[in-house]
Amino acid sequence: MSTIAVDVGGTFTDAIYIDNEGKLRITKVPTTPLNPALGVIDSIKKSKGLNEVEEVLHATTIATNSILGQINLELPRVALITTKGFKDIIEIGRQNRPKLYDAFFTKPRPFVPRELRYEVNERTTYEGKVLKGIDEDEINDIANDMVKKGVVSIAVSFLNSYANDENERKVKELLQDRFSFITISSDVSPEPREYERTSTAIINALLQPIVSSYISSLASSLSGLRSPRFSIMSSAGGLISLEEAIERPVQLIESGPAAGAIAALELSKLLGIKNVIGFDMGGTTAKASSIINNEIEIVDEYEVGGESHHGRIVKGSGYPIRFPFIDLAEVSAGGGTIIWRDKAGGLNVGPISVGAEPGPASYGRGGDKPTITDANLAIGRLGENLAGGQIKLRKDLAISALKALGEPTEVSLQALELINLEMARAVRLVTVERGLDPSSFTIMAFGGAGPMHAAYLAEEIGVKSIVIPPEPGLFSALGLLLADSRFEARKAFPKDLEQAFSELEAKLREKLGDVDEFLRYVDVRYEGQGYELRLQVTSFDRHEIEKEFEELHKRTYGFTLSIPIEVVSARVFAIKKRKKVGLGEARENGVKSPSGYREAIIRDHWEEVPIYGREGLPKGFSIKGPAIIEEYSSTTVVPDGWTASVISMRSIIIERC
């Protein structure tokens, strides 16, 4: 089957096309930020004759960018229907201010203005007992008012609907003939905590009209094809159908980054490596994800538009969404991150970055602020020709920008050490928080800048082996080709586990038809705790689950308690396997000698470092550091003390020697 995978990034839209014989072809076209569908269509057309594509896989930023206002798009008018007395819950949030010491702080503005928040006289208890049902007349009046005010999409969120969704469903039934887009909170987030659930429902309601029109515009442009199957990457790292994407678009928020993490997961399975840290470093951010026993870590909550503080989003700074997300710790650390001195002369990196325009000083497009790319260039780790010579960097401009901060070499070395520390922080978040020792992991480094920093990061956290995948700069697009279809369903406070799982699985079968595998999880805690630990369910036996929980608790926090244990939620992922593409193998007889030498500082002194071209290296070939390996989409630095070897799947492994 011929498949195309399209990943829309901030600057470029990457496409990888695979034909019937399994041959890969790579295309990069500029992204049109105001109309990302253009880049997608363009890349498909450029890749191959339209008619031949049978399947399109897509990672999109449409959801996040619409919410962040990065697309010139008027947001649809969304109304909220909620329990009487509680219309301001979305405005109050958790009542904290996102910044402690800022007298000029702001809170995110609610997407539903007060005049579009409707209160309904209804009530359900925490035990799920309906104290007051829905009055049809009341809903009709609200409907009339919403029509008058031009409401396009509706979120319905009632107190305690996680325990019983009866009243929410009733409202949906009453409104569905008059409105195309209705989200009920118990459908998108059937869990307690009214603010987070309501916020999730509102974001879903906001995205429904946007995603629906984006998808139909894509579909109509592709109608010349022999109707290819179309799937989109979800934040949980599985491909979902267009229908699912339109129904619950909240799950597209981290579509792009999830594709990268899934790429790391699938390649690590192919290579037989069980515990992996996915390390994705691009132009503005670095992201870390963790893979444990060939399973990727999933979290339940994310704040879109939130401010990040050392890798974690500051609570209350964005709009919370409760839905499964691949756990990514994100720090402002990329090639474009700015190096600067504070008022007392301390050197700092980030969090501001220069963006695509004007870019780092060395791009010669008018930027005068020194960046991480400039630092790497100044000390020779990065060469002056990028992307096979398509981009020329100017070392003189990099050095003169760095000079403003002090002796350029010294500044560069110190800045790179600081940024590696910042990234180590992100890695610790996705490992230490779960009681895992990062040094027992392998780093898989990708993104344009990942392979250049990977060894230094590894030394910081004690990691002894690193994998550089094929096409590291386009690895996220490659991830789409490696992903499975994956749908999620969950239930809060299941009474009977076996029954809960069989209900959830029946629901997923209805959506998906045949399912290859169900992955069952439970979130467990001591009664009264606010955070759960997640276990994969291998048996429905209560004692077994409790025993596993206690072991994990001990490992994570160092103690156990003698109080009852409760299962907070049951969750199932239905997996439908897709045929995976082969990544191919490196050639048997290639070039074993350096293509040249360059003066660079790998540790603390200048030296002649051999430069190798990755494309020509044969399988099985080893290089002892110090060395630099260059390719179309990235540059890999191998410091002394490390050895790089070309292994299967066109990958490179770098190990401590």
Partner 1 sequence: MVPWEIISKASSFIAEEMGVALRRSSLSPNIKERSDHSCAIADSNGNIVAQAEHIPVHLGSLRVGVKLLLKEIEKEGIGLNEGDMIVSNDPYITGTHLNDVTLLSPIYHGDNIIGYVVNKAHHIDIGGPSYGSINPFATSIYEEGLIIPPLKLVEKGNIRRDILSIILSNVKVPRISDGDFKAQIAANIAGIRRVRELISKYGIKDVLDGWKSSIAHAFKLAVDEINKWPEGTYFSEDYLEVGQHELVKLKGKVTIAKNKILVEFPNAPKQVEMPFNAVLGVTFSAVSFPIRSVMRVEIPVNEGFYSIIDLRAESGTIINPVPPAPVSGGNLETSQRIADLIFLALSKAIPSRVPAAGSGTMMNVMMGGFDEKKGQRWAYYETIGGGSGARPNSDGISGVHVNMTNTMNTPIEVAEATYPIMFTSYTIREGSGGNGRYRGGDGMVRSFKVLSKTRISIMASRFLSSPWGVGGGREGKKARVVIRKANGEVISINPLMSMVLEEGDEVIIETPGGGGYGEPE
Binding site residues, partner 1, CB under 8 A:
85-89, 91-97, 100-107, 125-126, 159-160, 162, 192-196, 310, 315-316, 342-348, 414, 417-418, 421-422, 425, 428, 432-433, 526, 528-531, 553, 556-559, 561, 563
- The minimum distance between CB 292 and partner 1, in angstroms, equals 17
98/472 with CB nearer partner 1: 98
- The minimum distance between CB 98 and partner 1, in angstroms, equals 9
208/290 with CB nearer partner 1: 290
- The minimum distance between CB 652 and partner 1, in angstroms, equals 27
- The minimum distance between CB 115 and partner 1, in angstroms, equals 13
78/424 with CB nearer partner 1: 424
The count of other CB atoms within 10 Å of the CB of residue 150 is 10
Per DSSP, the three-state class of 108 is coil
Q: Which amino acid is at 392?
A: K
Residue 626, preceding peptide bond in cis (omega within 30° of 0): yes
- The minimum distance between CB 414 and partner 1, in angstroms, equals 5
d(CA 647, CA 641): 19
Residue in 33, 9, 156, 184 with CA at minimum distance from that of residue 87: 156
Tracing tokens 């002056």 back to the chain, one arrives at 384
- The minimum distance between CB 25 and partner 1, in angstroms, equals 43
347/404 with CB nearer partner 1: 347
- The minimum distance between CB 80 and partner 1, in angstroms, equals 13
Q: Which helix (H) or strand (E) segment is 415 a member of?
A: helix 408-431
- The minimum distance between CB 571 and partner 1, in angstroms, equals 19
- The minimum distance between CB 344 and partner 1, in angstroms, equals 4
Please, where are the H alpha helices in 529-625? 542-557
Residue in 326, 261, 263, 289 with CA at minimum distance from that of residue 649: 263
70/96 with CB nearer partner 1: 96
87/614 with CB nearer partner 1: 87
Burial class (CB in 10 A: 0-12, 13-18, 19+), 72: exposed
Q: Which amino acid is at 92?
A: I
Structure tokens at 327: 């756990």
351/383 with CB nearer partner 1: 351
181/279 with CB nearer partner 1: 279
- The minimum distance between CB 543 and partner 1, in angstroms, equals 21
Query: Quick one: three-class SS letters along 5-66?
Result: EEEECCCEEEEEEECCCCCEEEEEEECCCCCHHHHHHHHHHHHCCHHHCCEEEEECCHHHHH
Per DSSP, the three-state class of 512 is helix
513/558 with CB nearer partner 1: 558
- The minimum distance between CB 310 and partner 1, in angstroms, equals 6
Sheet holding 117-120, edge to edge: 117-120, 78-83, 153-157, 181-184
437/541 with CB nearer partner 1: 437
Is residue 76 within 8 A of residue 153, CB to CB? The reply is yes
343/605 with CB nearer partner 1: 343
Residue in 498, 521, 499, 517 with CA at minimum distance from that of residue 508: 517
Strands (E), 310-441: 312-313, 319-326, 329-331, 337-341, 347-353, 385-386, 391-392
Half-sphere exposure of 31 (CA within 13 A, CB side): 20
